[in-house]
Chains A and B, each alone.
Chain A
Amino acid sequence: MSSATDAARRVEEQAQAGADGPVVCASTLDNGLDVVVIPDRRAPVVTHMVWYRNGSADDPVGKSGIAHFLEHLMFKGTTQHPEGEFSDAVAAIGGQENAFTSYDYTAYFQRVAKEHLGEMMHFEADRMTNLSFDEAVVGPERDVVIEERRMRTDSDPDQQLSEAMDAALFTHHPYGLPIIGWMHEIEGLSRDDAFNYYQRFYTPSNAILVVAGDVEAEAVQALAQEHYGRIASAARPQRLRPQEPPPRAARRVTVSDARVEQPLLRRLYLAPSTLTGGHEVACALDVLAEVLGGGATSVLYRKLVLEKAKAVSAGAWYFGSAVDQTRFGVTAAPAQDVSLDDLEKHIDDAVADFIARGVDEADFRRATTRLVADMVYAQDSQATLARVYGSALAIGESIADVQQWPARIAAVTPEGVMDAARAWLNARTAVTGRLEPQ
C-alpha cells in the first residue's frame, strides 16, 4: 500500500470517527421552533442556547447595529421578570450566560448544572415573547454599546482597516456593514427601533433551540414543549438581502495612522459560501485556505516567511458558514524594512505560482487531515458542538450537513482545490488593504 493511499485511508477513518461522534436528535415543535439535542455525558452540565435566524445583515437600512443593540436590551427584563431576575437566577445556581450577534444570527446561552435546564427554558422562552423595559434603561445601554465600539474598533487601527475592507468588498450586500453598527447610527437607535426589530424576528419559527450536555433527547423535547411550546406561532420572517453583484474592480484601502508601527497587508476575495456555492465548492475552499495559509507548513508561510524572509507572518482563511456570498482572506505582516509594495508583489507571485504549479500532494493530504481532526477535537467541548450545530442550522444547513462535513472534506480532490483557486483568487477584482504608519 502506498503512503498516499495510506494517508487517504487515515483521513477516511478520521472522518468516520468524526461522524460517529454524538448521536444528535432533531425535532420541531408545532409553533415552528427547531429543537436540537446533542448528548455529552462527561460532566453533569448542559449548554442551553437559543439561536435566531437574524443578524446584523438583517438590520434595516439606516439602523445598523440594531440586531446587536437588541441583543444587549434582551437582558433588560420582561413583563413577568423585571430587569436582573433572569441573570440573578443564573448566577444563583452558578450558571454562566451571555449572548452574541453575528452577520446571519443572534444567539443567547446559559451553561448550568443539568437539573436547572427547565428553569433556563422558562426564562429564555419568556424573553422570546414578553420583552419589556423602560425608556430609562435605553440611554445607558446605548452608551455601553458605544463604549464597546470604541474599545473594539475606534481604539484599534487594525480593526478600522478590517471594517474599511469589508465595506469595500461588499458594495451592496449588508455584510459590508459592521456587526456593531456605524457609530453615527448606533447613536440614533431608539427603544422603538429595538421593539420593531424584536417583533419582526423574535418568534419560535425563526428560532433554534440547541441543548448539549448530560441530557436525554426525549426529556429535553418534553421540557421544550412545556416552556417554548406555549408561545404562539407566526410565519417565519423573511431575510431581505440585496445581493452582491460580481466584482469588476480591484479596490485598494489604506489606513494610515500615527499609532501604527507594524504595517500589515490584507487581501479579501469575494467567494461563494456553503449556501451559495454548494458543499463541494465550500469544502474545496476550506482545504484551499488550509493549504495556502493554515499555519507554519502552508504555501504562503513557507514562501514568504521561510524562503524569502519577506514577512514575519502569513496566512489565509475562509468564512464558508454564511447565507450569502462571503469572504476568502489572505493576511501578512512584512519583515522589517520590507515595503508593503514588495510584500504584495510576493504574495501575488506566490498565489500565481501556486495556481500554475498546482497543489503539492503532501500539502493537500496534510490540510485534509488537519481539517478532519479539528472536527474530532471539537467533540471535546459541548459548548463548541452546540455552536457548530446552532450556527449551521441558523444559516440554513441541516444536521446531516454538519455530520457529513468531515466526509465531504475527505472527498475533496486536488483538482477541486485548484478549480476553486483559479475561480476565486483573482487579485484584479479583490480588495487589498494596507495598515501603515502615518
Chain B
Amino acid sequence: MRDFAYHRATTLEQAGPLAARAESAILAGGTTLLDLAKCDVVRPAEVVDITHLPGLADIRADAESLHLGALVRMAAAMRHVAVRAACPAVAQALALSASAQIRNMATLGGNLLQRTRCAYYRDPASFPACNRRTPGSGCAAAGGVTHHHALLGTSEACIATYPGDLAVALVAVGAVIEIGTRWMPAEDFFLLPGETPHREFALEPGEIVTALCIPASAASRRSAYLKLRDRASYEFASVSVAAGLELAADGTIADVRLALGGVATIPWRLHAVEAALTGRHPTPATLREASLLAMQGATPRPDNRHKLDLAPRLVHRALEQLLQGDAA
C-alpha cells in the first residue's frame, strides 16, 4: 500500500468535502478499499473513515418502504427481521455473500460500490492495459481468460463482471439509492461501461451513499436470491438471480421482478423476461419459455458460453421455488 493519511469523519458535512478531494477515498468497512490498495489498484493519498458518521446505520420499516442506512453492516441487515420480511431476496443475497467476517465489516453502501474481480483489473503491475483503471489504456481481458467475464452489458472497452449480490437483489425489487439529498433508482446507479468503464457508479466526487430504500411490494415480500458457484461458500457468483413474484387472485402473474448477477457488467434487470411473464399464468411452459429470454443480447466468449444455458435455468429455478413456496 502507498502511504496515506487517515481521517476519521464525524459529520456528513465534514466528510463530503474531505471525500471530494482529488486523491481521497472513502473508507467504510474497508473490505474493498484496503484490498484494492494492497493490489495497487487504488492509491489514495487520504482515506476518510465514515463509519463514525451518525445516523447512517439505522434499519427502519414502515408500510411504504424499508430504509437501510448505508453504514448498516451486511450481517446486521441479513439478520434483521424487517429485512427478512420486507425482502427475503436481500437477506438471502447478503447471507450468500463473502464470509461471516466480511459481512461483519462491510457496509451496505460499500457493498454496492465493490469493484470487479477481473484478474486483469486487479493486477496493474502485470497488466497495464485496463480501461476501467486507466482510461484509454486498453483491455487486457479481451482475448484472455474470460470464464468469469460478462456476457451482458459489455463494450469494446470493458467486459468486467459486476461481482456483487446485494445490488442484484436491490435492482430486482426496484430499490432506490439515497445520496445525501438526492435519490436514484438502483438500476440507474450502476453505469454500463460503454466508452467510460472507469465511471462505474452515478456518483459525483464527494458524494456519499447514505441509504438504500426498498419500496414495499408484494413481489419484494415474496422474493428469493439463488446463487450458483463451484465452491459451496465464500465465492463470487458464477450466476445468480434475484426474483420476486406477486400472483393475482386469478392465479396470473401480477408482478414479477428479476435480475441476474455474475454474468453482466452491472446488476442486470431482466425486463424482457418480466414482460413475458406479467399477466400470464405461470405454467411450466410459460416459465421455461420466458426464462430463455434471460440471456437475450448476450455476447458469449468461448470460456463462458455455458452461462448462456445456466442463467435461464437458474431464473426458471427461482421462479419455480417462489411458486412452490406459495403451494406450501
Tell whether A pairs with B. Answer: no
Residue positions of A touching B, CB distance < 8 A: none
- Chain B residues in the interface with A (C-beta under 8 A): none
